[in-house]
Structure 1
Amino acid sequence: MKKQIADFLIVGGGVIGISVARSLSHKYPQAIIKLLEKEKEVSQHTSGRNSGVLHAGFYYSTESLKAKFCKEGNVRWTEYCDEFKLPIRKCGKLVVPKNQGEVEYMHDLFKQGMKNNVPLHMITAEEAKKIDSNVRGYGKEFIWSPITSTVDTKALLKFMVQLIDRFQLQFRDETHDKNPNFEILRSNEFKQPKSKDTPNVLLTQNGDQIHYKYLINAAGQQALNIAQEYGFGKDLDYFPIKGIYSISDRPLDHIYKTLVYPVPLKGAYFLGVHSTITVDGYLKVGPTVSPAFSWENYHGFQNLKFNELYRIIKNYCHLLVSDQRKLIWTFITEEMPKHSIKRLVNDVSKIHFIGPEEQKAFKSFYRPGIRAQLINKKSMKMHNDFILEFGDNQLHILNIVSPGFTCALPVADYIVDQIALKLDK
């Protein structure tokens, strides 16, 4: 058994955990910061499996944390990529209605963007064609978001990790005998000691003790389980949602120049099937929206755990008898058929035309991602914003769903400022 000491212990090596580590190292350069990660590398789950889009921030209600941080996050990630010459595709995004019913809500979205001070333009269909000749849509004008971009999220986070602690970070396992200011520890599992005499201690899988002054739970899909062990998030439960894209087998950026999204359904939690140009020029179409039956159930029966499966099925049963049951029927009638590549490509082609030759490039699905969506146990409604639950010496970061990656840098700074206020009392 080995004893580890940390001023700040972060659980989770995704974009939020890494960004918080970065902000803490700037705020407290002498502090000992340890990050506990169960995988061999960082960003193996939600952060490395998302769309790679830096969102502009016009979908979200003005009072939300999403709106508060999205535009700033977009700007800061863009500056970060420019400063360190990391790949970024500044391609912008078009939002396109498919029928008259969507035109009015498109204008509502534009007004929301204006409230959020997001750079947006209402452009004519002819102007949109000059940006990308393959755009399709209903009506005479579309939304143009010039600051929307795409990045390689996994490469970006790996680079960020290398910069923390004066560019000297190495990925170390638990047997490393040094105690640098910032260190990543590996452990598949951890738990609190049974004794209440050691409240600020975690036990790793091999029995090592990590003594900390402040705990930051940024564990993504696993975050709610951890929070509930400490008495937080009692009214919340999991509703994980799997999204799957198909990706072209060759670059198509000589044909497709921008991202094209539909106008989402009013009040919907998802942005709809769309097209995305990756940093290296491939075209992604999707995502499908379907249930995940365990926190890391990416394929078929992979990573299924009975306790997680039971919990999720129970929530679906409750949804079926609640006023949210329409969501289940949407999954069944509209989303499940999209698990055909042909159907997915055809749906996208309604707003971003994909010709017969280009359709042949879509032969397989891309790596799926799972949205760490939470619901309220009583109302059975999805939470639409990030959730930060503070304790005396701990913080639980929950429901970091889209645009979580985009918001990560300013969210991390905000979190560290809040921690500093509590520590200074």
Structure 2
Amino acid sequence: MGTSPDTIGVVGAGILGLAIARRLQDTHPRARVTVFDKERAVGTHQTGHNSGVVHAGLYYQPGSLKAELCRRGGDLLRAYCDERDLPFDACGKLVVAADDSELAALKEIQRRAEINQVPGLRRLESHEIASIEPYARGAAALHSPATAITDFVAISESLAADVLAADGEVRLSTEVVRVLPVRNGVQLVTGGGERLRFDHVVLCAGLESDRLASTAGDRKEPAILPFRGEYLKLIPERADMVRGLIYPVPDPKYPFLGVHFTRRVDGSVDVGPNAVLATAREGYRRRDVSLADLRDILGFPGFWRVAKEHWRAGVAEVAGSASSRVFVNRAKAYVPSLTVADVVRGGAGVRAQAVDRSGSLVDDFRIHRLDRVTALRNAPSPAATSALAIAEHVVEAINLG
């Protein structure tokens, strides 16, 4: 008699969870894979609120997981989009040094990008910038023609269809509230009181990643601090101000990339985001407040260390959140002709920023393995770009019978 097929539960139906589920099915075709998500549709949270950018790997520390998996992930994603006739537009990106004080940092980005083998990268002098982005200005820039845009929700929906076609299950409107190691397996407890046993579980819970992992016996740190990123949007009549993507030179002290211009696959252009501490883990609106989430934030020692070190930056971000004029003035450093009349309020997303007890902002992907549980504890940008490569990386380490 043959052995029973392995059962695997994946918590989280964003692009990352669905990519891992599909990779599990490809690698272990006899396994029974079930994906859980508390929402009624896939890709509802970080997947559905991100910028839609397919990153080429410019910024990441050579040798890091981000550097390794971003380049591989972008290639896999482009091939998948081509195969499934999903949108993928290599519109290119400019990283612009606003003035001479940023030239050294721009050179460091170029060094990293060259080590990471970013294709087609080219440095532009000030007078060459307008040939790529006519409205942009700066002391110098890097042009990455391989940087692209896509629709990550459409990709997630396609991956969910793949999971179902391979006899997997995608259980929406099913919240997993606890992950309990049991004899020779893992038990998932749902909000509805179900107790479901699996041979292995993968947690891709994003904004809830620390809480769920701790129920499985993982340490509490890194903890998630939610940062809301708010966007302005160019009015349709001014969308031609930006051909592709225009980014600033990021501050190396922060994992955020700063206010930038992002063309979407529908032709609209976002300006942003800022980074404001959210008062709820799913606080997409300013009025969204969760007392439980605030209690966790204020009770975490790492938060107070972050606040002490970075309070000035926090005040500046709040000012940009409160005033479109302040927001626009920051963006004008790269597109000087931009005015408040050119923009309207856009959407917002919440970044699940992992923070250690020391107050260090976790930059690289962080994956914890606990016997039969694999927990993705930090998966910020470029996680969507890297999703198919992260799936390879995660599944390779899962030992199934």
Normalising by structure 2, report the TM-score. 0.92
Residue 51 of structure 1 corresponds to 51
Q: Secondary structure at the match of 2:252?
A: coil
Q: Secondary structure at the match of 1:16?
A: helix
Q: Secondary structure at the match of 1:33?
A: strand
Q: Secondary structure at the match of 1:160?
A: helix
Shift of 1:266: 3.1
| 1:148-167 to 2 correspondences below 5 Å | 148-166=147-165
Residue 320 of structure 2 corresponds to residue 338 of structure 1: yes
1:363 is matched by which residue type in structure 2?
V
Rate the CA distance shift 1:279–1:369 in 2: closer, same or farther, 3 A.
Answer: same
In 1, Cα distance between equivalents of 2:110 and 2:277: 31
Residue 423 of structure 1 corresponds to 400
Q: Deviations over 1:355-375 (max 9, x none)?
A: 45xx53422232x11111111
Shift of 1:197: 6.6
Q: Secondary structure at the match of 1:216?
A: strand
Q: Deviations over 1:63-85 (max 9, x none)?
A: 21101111111222122222222
Q: Check the 8 A contact 1:60/1:67 in 2, yes or no.
A: yes
Residue 388 of structure 2 corresponds to residue 409 of structure 1: yes
In 2, Cα distance between equivalents of 1:66 and 1:267: 17
Q: 1:265 aligns with which of 228, 232, 251?
A: 251
Rate the CA distance shift 1:51–1:203 in 2: closer, same or farther, 3 A.
Answer: same
| 1:78-97 to 2 correspondences below 5 Å | 78-97=78-97
Shift of 1:244: 0.7
Residue 171 of structure 2 corresponds to 184
Residue 114 of structure 2 corresponds to residue 127 of structure 1: no
Shift of 1:354: 4.1
Residue 362 of structure 1 corresponds to 343
Rate the CA distance shift 1:400–1:387 in 2: closer, same or farther, 3 A.
Answer: same
| 1:361-380 to 2 correspondences below 5 Å | 361-366=342-347, 368-377=348-357, 379-380=358-359
Shift of 1:305: 2.8
Q: Deviations over 1:285-306 (max 9, x none)?
A: 011111012211111332x332
Rate the CA distance shift 1:394–1:266 in 2: closer, same or farther, 3 A.
Answer: closer
Residue 110 of structure 2 corresponds to 110
In 2, Cα distance between equivalents of 1:158 and 1:241: 26
Shift of 1:152: 1.6
Q: Deviations over 1:357-401 (max 9, x none)?
A: xx53422232x1111111111x11111111111122110111111
Residue 291 of structure 2 corresponds to 306
Percent identity, aligned pairs only, is 28
Rate the CA distance shift 1:43–1:354 in 2: closer, same or farther, 3 A.
Answer: farther
Residue 171 of structure 1 corresponds to none
| 1:16-95 to 2 correspondences below 5 Å | 16-95=16-95
In 2, Cα distance between equivalents of 1:214 and 1:199: 6
Q: 1:280 aligns with which of 266, 269, 273?
A: 266
Residue 350 of structure 1 corresponds to 333
| 1:134-153 to 2 correspondences below 5 Å | 134-138=135-139, 141-153=140-152
Shift of 1:209: 2.8
Rate the CA distance shift 1:251–1:217 in 2: closer, same or farther, 3 A.
Answer: farther
In 2, Cα distance between equivalents of 1:26 and 1:196: 27
Rate the CA distance shift 1:261–1:90 in 2: closer, same or farther, 3 A.
Answer: same
Rate the CA distance shift 1:407–1:198 in 2: closer, same or farther, 3 A.
Answer: closer
Q: Deviations over 1:9-68 (max 9, x none)?
A: 001111110110110111122211001110000111011101111111121111211011
Shift of 1:92: 0.5
Rate the CA distance shift 1:308–1:107 in 2: closer, same or farther, 3 A.
Answer: same
Q: Check the 8 A contact 1:30/1:181 in 2, yes or no.
A: no
In 2, Cα distance between equivalents of 1:283 and 1:165: 34
1:385 is matched by which residue type in structure 2?
D
In 2, Cα distance between equivalents of 1:213 and 1:41: 26
Q: RMSD over aligned Cα, in angstroms? A: 2.3
Q: Deviations over 1:312-331 (max 9, x none)?
A: 1234x7655x4872312211
Shift of 1:221: 0.6
Q: Which range is displaced more, 218-227 or 345-354?
A: 345-354
Q: 1:235 aligns with which of 218, 221, 228?
A: 221
In 2, Cα distance between equivalents of 1:88 and 1:349: 28
Residue 201 of structure 2 corresponds to 215
Shift of 1:280: 1.2
1:151 is matched by which residue type in structure 2?
T
In 1, Cα distance between equivalents of 2:179 and 2:112: 44
